[in-house]
Amino acid sequence: MSKAKRVTITDIARLAGVSPGAVSFALNGRPGVSEQTRQRILEIAEQHQWLPSSAARALVGSRAGVIGFAVNRSAGTLGAEAFFTDLIAGVQSALATNRIAMQMVLVASLEEEVATYRRWRSANQVDGVIVIDPRDDDPRLTVLRDLDLPAVVIGSHASDDAHPATIWLDDSQVAHALFDYLAALGHRSIVYVAGPAEFQHTRMRTEVLVGQKDRGVTGEVIATDFSPSEAANAMRRLLSRRERPSAVVFDNDVMAIAGLRVAQEMRVSVPGDLSIASFDDSVVAGLVHPSITCITRDTFGLGADAADFLLEQIDSVEILPDRVGPLPGLTVRESTAAPR
């Protein structure tokens, strides 16, 4: 039986109705084609399992000079969160020093993120990737290992030996800093308005809150999509109850500010009748009135460290040992006080 004919750039160009040059631009992530055309070409290449030939790789060199960052967030949420602004700035600062570019794409699902890694690897578009929001039994990590695509995960705890290297922050310790403080103030009814429930950091923070029951604290968790609109809706429901919580903790600063606005809308005094806090800090969180108690972290430094770690991982023949990122701390401001 004869072997199936290898799909070439010329074949893809014919199927897409474009020139071979346009296909080359699209597959190598270069400007020169519209985003719509680029996506059509990439989809055709993936459907036909196109792989660059060894000769083509030799002509362009073994390195792409680019790292990838696929973010599973909506554009609106991404633009509003100070965490991402600072993280991306930190990554870019480290890459610029090494004259490396970053290709960032927004994806709508875990499946689309995995497909992006496969496409990047097959087209030799990136030398490695930064991964965020790890989950327990995360399928992305197995795919990256099978693709032999260098990766660094920004996570909440150390990784298993078989998984990509991780730069991690102990989210249990971070959660204790905030929830222990609220419990010490005397709060006995605390609600955590979280992001998606499947994220490791959500689970770890939830476990710490539930563990506060030995101090007489009743904890509740409400999962959202990180958006200020869902945070506001959750806060309205909480403040409409006959028995309100005495403290509400949000996963990020934008959610916390949305929650504060709802409290003001419903004439609930902060911190007199309700304490509000956030697991992310920002300049705005310190400027609103009352200013918001937050976990403050060096996100810019975390991004720079992750990029440097990835570049080292790309040059290494084996998975490097995990590293601990900059330790966050609790910044107490006006939005928290002992309950009346």
Q: What angle do CA 52, 26, 309 make, to 5 degrees?
A: 75
pLDDT at 246 over 50: yes
Contact between 191 and 245 (Cβ < 8 Å): yes
- What pLDDT sits at residue 51? 61
> pLDDT-based confidence at 31, cuts 50/70/90?
low
Residue 221, φ and ψ in degrees, nearest 5: -125, 135
Averaged confidence pLDDT in the chain: 88
Q: pLDDT digit string (tens) for 154-189?
A: 988 877 666 688 998 899 999 999 999 999 999 999
Residue 255 confidence (pLDDT) above 50: yes
Instruction: State residue 79's pLDDT score.
Output: 67
Could you tell me the CA-to-CA distances from 130 to 20, 66, 103, 140, 258 in Å, in that order? 31, 11, 11, 12, 29
Q: Which pLDDT band, with edges at 50, 70 and 90, does 53 fall under?
A: low
What percentage of the chain exceeds 70 in pLDDT? 91
User: What pLDDT score does 233 carry?
Assistant: 98
Average pLDDT value for residue range 199-223: 96
pLDDT of residue 30: 65
Residue 54: the pLDDT is 43
Average pLDDT over residues 5-21: 80
**What's the whole-number mean pLDDT along residues 22-50?**
78
pLDDT in tens, 224-237: 999 999 999 999 99
Mean pLDDT over 126-138 rounds to 92
User: What does the pLDDT average to over 310-332?
Assistant: 89
pLDDT of residue 259: 98
At 261-307, the pLDDT tens digits run 999 999 999 999 999 999 999 999 999 999 999 999 999 999 999 99
Residue 256: is its pLDDT beyond 70?
yes
> Sorting pLDDT into bands at 50, 70 and 90, what band is 52?
low
- What mean pLDDT is predicted for residues 238-261? 97
What percentage of the chain carries pLDDT values higher than 90?
A: 61
